[in-house]
Amino acid sequence: MDSDFKAISELQKYLAAGCRVENVQPPAIASDAEINIVTVTVVCPDGNKHIIRAYKDEARALREFVRLKR
């Protein structure tokens, strides 16, 4: 299931390259029922920042993926 979502595949690629999740908006403690858009900021060892956005079902899956990886 996770690999079906482009945002999760992109995040997996960054994590495999040694990058780390810096920020998740809205915060992981927010209610899942209200989540339609999730933005994840990733920081890589070279200092570059990348932003990954997901919408609707993909947003819920991305946030859950981040929650499990932390």
pLDDT of residue 1: 46
Residues 6 or more apart in contact with residue 25 via CB below 8 angstroms:
38, 39, 40, 41
User: How far is residue 32's CA from residue 43's CA, in Å, rounded to a whole number?
Assistant: 25
Check whether 4 has a pLDDT greater than 90.
Answer: no
**pLDDT tens sequence across 6-49:** 999 999 999 999 999 999 998 766 555 567 899 999 999 999 99
Q: Residue ranges of the domains in the chain?
A: 2-69
pLDDT of residue 69: 82
